[in-house]
Amino acid sequence: MHPIGRQIEEVLAVHSGGSRRHLQARVGELLRLVGFEDAGARLHALPHEFSGGQQQRLMIAIALANKPDLLIADEPTTALDVTIQAQILSLLKDLQRSLQMALLLITHDLGIVRRIAERVCVMKDGLIVEEGACAEVLRQPSHPYTQALLAAEPKGLPDPPPAGAQELLRADAAKVWLPIRRGVLRRTVGYVKAVDGVSVSVRAGHTLGVVGESGSGKSTLGRALLRLQRSEGAIAFEGQALQGLGWKALRPLRRRMQIVFQDPFGSLSPRMSGGQIVGEGLTIHHLCSSKEELEAAVARALSEVGLDPDAQHRYPHEFSGGQRQRIAIARALVLKPKLIVLDEPTSALDISVQAQIVDLLKTLQRTHGLAYIFISHDLRVVRALAHDLLVLRAGRVVEQGPADAIFSRPRDPYTRALIAAAFDPQLQIV
């Protein structure tokens, strides 16, 4: 619980020394250098009071405190939305130029490499398999692994949706108020409207993409639509109003509405095997009459998401990130839902695994007629999956409609900025 000013001071004191006044002045310089114009007002703020992009700027300030000749940036934009990514990359490039500093950028995002790097090294299994000028390597890769990485970038469009599909879920003027808590005792001092009058419709077999910057209300909306978050407004699933239903009345509906969370490392219990995680819902809803039936259902679900059924006795730490996310999908799929909310399911995965998960989701949608609400800050992945698009900013709808129309002809300047940051190959960070 150290204020950010004190944390930067500690780095300076250990390596440079000086009086308290000198250290505080240097902290202010560093904060202004990374884009905090109100540096004096932020010295006493705690890390959790900053957004994800601001936290990354603070980490850059700490790294610059001792005037390094080399800055190693290890996945500096992972889990940040595209506009914040562009800001962080521009900041790094500006600092490199002004401080005459070398920059070693580690990333799984080839789009970032295209925009910022002069030279690139491609690594596999601890070895450099290809290196050279960035433009040359990415235009004409010679190693099969580099070729596979480039081929694995999320691309393409969703499969055609079923014609005449019925409306599955509808929300009218949904609102969510989240408490603002302060102090050691975390007392509520106010409320913020995280979702402000959002109306959506999701049809069977369709995918609704929900995009927007960090803090725009995407995840909060997803939880509210499943009644995992208290909300105002009307929400109906298969024509049945969800507001006012108690937990007993909601239970049969829960089977048909599932969610896959962002973090494949934190959303699975480390004390349960993969089979227990997938089968837990079947046990809760009393869907299997015997242990043999339960094990068979779990095995089918694991097989369907591309995992060996024999792996059901292994624990989460024994799986890779992509495999854990497949377990999370199997956990939702085994209950035979009609709707799955996917909350940033690919953001913590490298690009080749992202493509595998996208292909898996398309296959499952074709096979089972699933409807998805796909929440993401990665518009390349959204474009590959979404039939309809909802753009949020500060909890409000900026733009919504058919995804192909919005991607090709965005009306709102904010939507245009998001799309340009994600797709414009000419948008170089110089």
* pLDDT, tens only, 108-122: 888 888 888 999 999
178 by DSSP, 3-state: which? strand
CB 327 within 8 A of CB 346: no
Asked if the model's pLDDT at residue 424 lies above 60, the reply is: no
On the question of pLDDT at 426 being above 50, the answer is no
Tell me the pLDDT tens digit for each residue of 168-195: 999 999 999 988 777 667 777 778 889 9
Q: 199 versus 150: which is more confidently predicted?
A: 199
Higher per-residue confidence, 350 vs 409: 409
pLDDT in tens, 343-383: 999 877 878 888 889 999 999 999 999 999 999 988 989 99
* Model pLDDT, residue 429: 47
Contacts of 214 (CB under 8 A, 6+ apart): 51, 52, 53, 80, 81, 84, 377
- Residue 364's CB is within 10 A of a number of other CB atoms, namely 19
Q: Domain map of the chain by residue range?
A: 4-151, 167-423
Answer yes or no: is pLDDT of 230 > 70: yes
Task: Tell whether the model's pLDDT for residue 391 goes beyond 90.
Answer: yes
Q: How high is the pLDDT of residue 430?
A: 45
Q: Please list, in sequence order, all residues whose beta carbon lies within 8 angstroms of the beta carbon of residue 160, skipping any fewer than 6 positions away.
A: none
Mean pLDDT of the chain: 89
Considering only residues 167 and 15, tell me which one the structure prediction assigns the higher pLDDT.
167
pLDDT of residue 427: 46
Q: What is the DSSP letter of 69?
A: S
Two tokens at 212?
């927007």
The whole-number pLDDT of residue 368 equals 95
Same fold, 4-151 and 167-423: yes
| Rounded Cα–Cα distance for residues 8 and 45 (Å) | 12
Given this model, what pLDDT does residue 392 score?
Answer: 95
pLDDT above 70 covers what percent of the chain?
97
Kindly state the tokens that stand for 72: 């190693």
Q: Rounded to the nearest 5 degrees, what angle is found at the Cα of 209, between the Cα atoms of 303 and 167?
A: 85
Residue type, 170: R
Phi/psi at 331 (5° precision): -60, -40
Residue 351: its H or E element = helix 351-368
- On the CB side of 262, CA atoms within 13 Å amount to 16
Q: How many helices (H) and strands (E) does the chain have?
A: 17, 14
What residues contact residue 28 under an 8 Å CB cut-off, 6+ apart?
A: 39, 40, 43
Kindly write down the DSSP assignment for every residue of 317-347, as one continuous string. GGS-HHHHHHHHHHHHHTT--SEEEEESTTT
Q: What pLDDT does 183 receive?
A: 67
Of the two residues 153 and 281, the one the predictor is more confident about is 281
Confidence of residue 280 (pLDDT cuts 50, 70, 90): very high
Higher pLDDT, 183 or 406: 406
Higher pLDDT, 265 or 260: 260
Tokens coding 22:
């000198």
Please tell me the pTM assigned to this model: 0.82
Mean pLDDT, to the nearest integer, of 75-103?
Answer: 86
In degrees, to the nearest 5, what angle opens at C-alpha 399 toward C-alphas 159 and 35? 110
CATH fold of the domain at 167-423? Rossmann fold (3.40.50)
Q: What is the topology classification, in CATH, of domain 4-151? A: Rossmann fold (3.40.50)
What average pLDDT score do residues 373-397 get? Answer: 94
Higher pLDDT, 198 or 420: 198
Residues 169, 237 contacting (CB under 8 angstroms)? yes
Tell me the pLDDT band of 400, cut-offs 50, 70 and 90: very high
Question: Per this entry, what is the length of the chain?
Answer: 430
**How far is the first Cα of the chain from the last one, in angstroms, to the nearest whole number?**
37
